[in-house]
Amino acid sequence: MGKHDNFGLIQVYTGNGKGKTTASLGLAFRASGHEFNVCMIQFMKKNDEYGEVKAALKIPNFKLIQVGREAFVDLKNPESIDYKLAEEGWELAKSVILSGQYNIVILDEVNVTMAAKLLDASVVAAFLAEKKNNTEVVLTGRYAPPEITAIAHLVTEMHDIKHPFSIGVPARQGIDF
Ligand code: ATP
Ligand code: MG
């Protein structure tokens, strides 16, 4: 068995509980230990103060690219720049996946991007379903569209039972970002 046999599946981490982005980062960390090449593209995010942005710089075979903007996207009323950035991010994602340079490509928050209709879920699903190479693709974020879970090989839903946010604990460095 070669070490990249059975690679190329589609994974989805969704749901309203904490742990989707961090699970994908855990996967990236594990894979990087095997010298696999990992690329994470973060949709709707632009902040170089995130721990994963700083950590990625220390792991040569883990590349992280943010394709969003600094302000929060209003999911019910996105601005035209949000459509443009989402489309550019998707073009980048396709070329990174098809490049064959990466064993794992993580599209962080892309589920939310599709749920907000910044990207067409059926277009993304069709591309992934037709993908022939052995690049594993991981899609994270709440509200994974049914078109995506239909074609995925692995779907995990993080279920929110408790979160300290509900008792007033703000986002914490090293835990939440
Ligand atoms: P993380 O990045 O910590 O793995 P996530 O990717 O599962 O979280 P997102 O939906 O991307 O969660 O939300 C990002 C931020 O919202 C994180 O700071 C996270 O801690 C926080 N968060 C996640 N789940 C909840 C929740 N159920 N209630 C409040 N805040 C949450
Ligand atoms: Mg997340």
Is the pLDDT score of 2 beyond 80? no
pLDDT of residue 4: 79
In the chain, what percentage of residues exceed pLDDT 70? 99
pTM recorded for the entire structure: 0.96
Residue 5, pLDDT score: 82
Distance of CA 177 to the CA centre of its chain: 15
Q: What is the pLDDT of residue 33?
A: 96
Per-residue pLDDT reduced to its tens digit, 105-145: 999 999 999 999 999 999 999 999 999 999 999 999 999 99
Tell me the β-bridge partners of 10.
137
pLDDT tens string 13-53: 999 999 999 999 999 999 999 999 999 999 999 999 999 99
- Which CATH number is 10-159's, of 3.40.50.720, 3.30.9.10, 3.40.50.300, 1.10.4080.10? 3.40.50.300
Ligand 1 binding pocket includes 17 (Cβ within 6 Å): yes
Long-range contacts from 63-66, C-beta under 8 angstroms, 24+ separation: 63/37, 63/38, 63/39, 63/102, 64/39, 64/40, 65/39, 65/40, 65/41, 65/92, 66/41, 66/42
Say if residues 120 and 86 touch (Cβ distance below 8 Å).
no
Measured in Å, residue 35 CA sits from the centre of ligand 2 at: 25
pLDDT at 3: 78
Probe ligand 1: pick from 13, 16, 18, max atoms within 8 Å of CB?
A: 18
Please tell me if the CB atom of residue 20 comes closer than 6 angstroms to any atom of ligand 1: yes
- Decide whether any atom of ligand 1 lies within 6 Å of the 176 Cβ: yes
Mean per-residue pLDDT, 148-174: 98
Mean pLDDT on 64-82: 95
Which contacts of 85-93 are long-range, i.e. CB under 8 A and separated by 24 or more positions? 85/43, 85/44, 86/43, 86/44, 86/113, 86/118, 86/119, 87/118, 87/119, 89/41, 89/43, 89/113, 90/119, 90/124, 92/41, 92/65, 92/67, 93/41
Residue with CA at minimum distance from ligand 1 atom 12: 18
Give the mean pLDDT of the chain: 97
Which residues make up the environment of ion ligand 2, defined by Cβ < 5 Å? 20-21
Q: What is the mean pLDDT of residues 91-117?
A: 98
1: confidence class by pLDDT, cuts 50, 70, 90: low
Residue closest by Cα to atom 13 of ligand 1: 18
Domain-wise residue ranges, the chain = 10-159
| Cα 140 to ligand 1 centre (Å) | 11
Distances (CA, A) of 102 to 13, 62, 74: 20, 9, 32
Beta bridge partners of 155: 12
